Structure formats: structure tokens, C-alpha cells
């Protein structure tokens, strides 16, 4: 018996304390308004633990709520970004439609001002090399295009058709070295030939020194040769040089058409009827 008590002393002591605490609590159930010393001691010991547990529970709840709010804000942010992207795309599309409408309106006015039948074409390709500068358009022999037809845009002369396929054609630009257009200076009526000089430039050749040509003069097609109708704008004189030797002047011309921004043009079909 003694060995049993020694062996299980701690267990018996713990059980005795718990039993006493339970009996004390049970005897005090009737007195709900006043706590006995044991209850006060238990409350004092457990209050920090309860407070910590409540604080921890509140902190966990706050962290969870903040996490949920953060997830919701992230979703809203993603949705807002998508909405902004859609709006930007719509704005760009609307702006492009307005610009295209302006271009087509100007082309339609040009078509009405030219007393020659014409076919509207759109640029679908470009071919640049050291020797040739051409554009590919979306109309061909199926639409009535033939080689040699002149091509104009809102600003003036663009070039002429040099190769034709059933559904597309190639246009040689007036700035190409192989291009030559009979022209006159609108103010003084001096004659010459506008040749392509490459790099978006042209020159007025075969104009003798005695002719009156000044910087700023407008150069138009003369109609000689039957390719381009008379009076189409070609370019503006940007440089005039009369050397001591030679018969002709050196004249540089800037095309009135911005070759690098061409999108729609007109092909004049008068040659098809000749």
C-alpha cells in the first residue's frame, strides 16, 4: 500500500486538487452573485489566457478579412484593367474609322473633280530596292486596269501602273529613278521632265537656263505624251541652280503627295479607251 501511494503520489494529489475544486464549484452554484476565493483565483489565473485567446482570435479574424478584401480588390483591379483595355481599343478603332472616313471623303471629292473615269485602289504592299520603288494595290486586270495607266492621290500625281495581275497591280512611284513625267512650271510655263531622284525626291530636267524658275514654284503635268492629263499637281520647286557650264538648270522638286503615307489612290482609266 505504501509503495502504491509513493508510486502514484502525483497522480493522486492532482486528482485530489481537482476533486476539491469541483466540490467547491458545485457547492457554490447556488450563490451566483458572489464568487468564492477559489473562483476568484481561477478567474485571475485564466483571465490572461482568455484575453490572449480572444486577441489571437480577433487578429486571425482581421487577417482573414483583410485577405478576403485583398482578393476582392485584386479581382476588381483585373476587371478594371480589362475594361480600360476594351475602352482604349474602342477609342483607337473609332479614331481610325474617323481618319479613314476623312481620307475616303477627300478621295471621293478628288474623283468628282477629275473629268476622267477612275478606279479607287488601296495599297496592300510595298516593294523597295536600290533601283525600284513600287506599291502593290488591290485591283488588277479583272477590274479593268492595264499597264501605263496614271495613278493620282489627293495631293497630286503618284506614278503609273507598270505590272498588272488579275487581282492586283504594281505602281511605279514618281520618285523612282525609272519614272519620267512631262511637266511645266505653272507660273512661268517653263517646260521640263520630272524624274525620280530616289529618297522621296524628284528633279526637273531639260529646263534651259533662260527659263524663269524660282523656289516655291508649282510644277504640274503638261499632258504631253498622253499618259498624264494636263494640270495635275506634281510637286514644288525646292532648289534652283544655274551653273556656268551647260545648257540646262539643276532643279529639285518635292512631290506634293506624301509617298510614305499613301493608303488609297485613284487609277485613271482613260488609256483603256484609246
pLDDT tens digits for 38-76? Answer: 555 555 655 555 455 555 555 556 666 666 677 877 888
Q: What is the pLDDT of residue 75?
A: 82
88 is a domain residue: yes
Total domains present in the chain? 2
Instruction: Reply yes or no on whether the pLDDT at 24 is more than 70.
Output: no
Q: Are 207 and 213 in contact (CB under 8 A)?
A: yes
Tell whether 133 and 251 lie within a shared domain: yes
Tell whether 40 and 142 lie within a shared domain: no
Place of cell 480589362: 82
The percent of the chain in helix, strand and coil, each rounded to the nearest 5, is 40, 30, 30
Tell whether 151 and 102 lie within a shared domain: no
Tell whether 85 and 180 lie within a shared domain: no
Tell whether 261 and 130 lie within a shared domain: yes
CA angle 14, 15, 21 (to 5 degrees): 90
Sign of CA dihedral 157, 158, 159, 164: negative
Q: Are 266 and 120 in contact (CB under 8 A)?
A: yes
197 is a domain residue: yes
Structure-model confidence comparison of residues 205 and 129, the more confident one: 205
Tell whether 157 and 64 lie within a shared domain: no
State the average pLDDT over residues 23-27.
59
Tell whether 69 and 147 lie within a shared domain: no
Q: How many beta carbons lie within 10 A of that of residue 200, not counting itself? A: 14
Kindly report, residue by residue over 228-259, the tens digit of the pLDDT.
Answer: 989 999 999 999 998 777 889 999 999 999 88
Q: Are 143 and 161 in contact (CB under 8 A)?
A: no
Highest mean pLDDT among 179-183, 243-247, 261-265, 267-271: 179-183
φ and ψ of 98, to 5 deg = -65, -45
Structure-model confidence comparison of residues 25 and 238, the more confident one: 238
State the average pLDDT over residues 118-123.
89
Distances (CA, A) of 17 to 13, 20, 165, 197: 6, 5, 109, 112
Q: What is the pLDDT of residue 271?
A: 47
Q: What is the pLDDT of residue 262?
A: 87
Q: What is the residue range of 137's domain?
A: 118-268
From 15-19, 119-123, 139-143, 269-273, the region with the lowest mean pLDDT: 269-273
**Residue 173 banded pLDDT, cuts 50, 70, 90:** very high
State the average pLDDT over residues 6-28.
61
Q: Are 200 and 237 in contact (CB under 8 A)?
A: no
Q: Are 202 and 233 in contact (CB under 8 A)?
A: no
Nearest residue to 171 (alpha-carbon basis) of 119, 104, 107:
119
Tell whether 123 and 160 lie within a shared domain: yes
- Extract the C-alpha cell encoding 195: 524624274
101 is a domain residue: yes
Q: Is 13 exposed, middle or buried (0-12, 13-18, 19+ CB in 10 A)?
A: exposed
Say which CATH number the domain at 169 has: 2.40.10.340
Q: Which of 113, 145, 180 is where one domain is finished?
A: 113
Q: Which of 113, 145, 161 is where one domain is finished?
A: 113
**Residue 15 banded pLDDT, cuts 50, 70, 90:** low
pLDDT above 90 covers a percentage of the chain that reads 36
Q: How far apart are CA 168 and CA 145, in angstroms?
A: 9
pTM exceeding 0.85: no
Q: What is the pLDDT of residue 245?
A: 78
Tell whether 138 and 256 lie within a shared domain: yes
Q: Which of 95, 113, 131 is where one domain is finished?
A: 113
Q: Is 19 exposed, middle or buried (0-12, 13-18, 19+ CB in 10 A)?
A: exposed
Tell whether 95 and 185 lie within a shared domain: no
Average of per-residue pLDDT values in the chain? 78
74: helix, strand or coil = helix
Q: How far apart are CA 29 and CA 86, in angstroms?
A: 70
8 is a domain residue: no
Instruction: Reply yes or no on whether the pLDDT at 2 is more than 70.
Output: no
Amino acid at each position: 500500500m505504501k509503495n502504491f501511494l509513493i508510486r502514484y503520489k502525483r497522480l493522486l494529489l492532482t486528482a485530489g486538487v481537482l476533486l476539491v475544486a469541483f466540490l467547491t464549484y458545485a457547492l457554490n452554484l447556488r450563490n451566483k452573485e458572489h464568487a468564492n476565493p477559489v473562483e476568484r483565483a481561477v478567474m485571475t489565473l485564466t483571465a490572461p489566457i482568455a484575453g490572449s485567446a480572444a486577441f489571437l482570435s480577433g487578429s486571425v479574424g482581421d487577417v482573414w478579412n483583410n485577405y478576403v478584401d485583398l482578393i476582392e480588390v485584386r479581382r476588381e483591379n483585373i476587371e478594371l484593367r480589362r475594361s480600360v483595355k476594351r475602352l482604349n481599343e474602342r477609342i483607337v478603332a473609332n479614331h481610325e474609322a474617323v481618319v479613314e472616313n476623312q481620307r475616303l471623303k477627300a478621295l471621293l471629292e478628288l474623283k468628282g473633280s477629275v473629268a476622267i473615269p477612275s478606279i479607287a485602289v488601296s495599297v496592300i504592299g510595298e516593294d523597295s530596292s536600290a533601283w525600284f520603288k513600287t506599291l502593290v494595290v488591290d485591283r488588277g486586270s479583272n477590274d479593268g486596269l492595264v499597264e501605263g495607266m496614271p495613278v493620282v492621290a489627293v495631293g497630286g500625281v503618284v506614278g503609273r501602273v507598270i505590272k498588272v495581275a488579275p487581282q492586283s497591280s504594281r505602281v511605279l512611284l514618281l520618285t523612282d529613278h525609272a519614272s519620267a513625267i512631262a511637266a511645266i512650271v505653272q507660273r512661268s510655263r517653263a517646260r521640263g521632265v520630272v524624274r525620280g531622284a530616289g529618297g522621296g525626291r524628284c528633279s526637273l530636267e531639260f529646263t534651259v537656263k533662260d527659263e524663269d524658275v524660282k523656289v516655291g514654284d508649282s510644277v504640274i503635268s503638261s499632258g504631253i505624251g498622253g499618259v498624264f492629263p494636263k494640270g495635275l499637281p506634281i510637286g514644288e520647286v525646292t532648289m534652283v541652280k544655274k551653273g556656268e557650264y551647260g545648257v540646262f538648270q539643276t532643279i529639285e522638286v518635292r512631290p506634293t503627295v506624301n509617298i510614305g503615307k499613301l493608303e488609297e489612290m485613284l487609277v485613271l482609266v482613260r488609256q483603256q479607251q484609246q
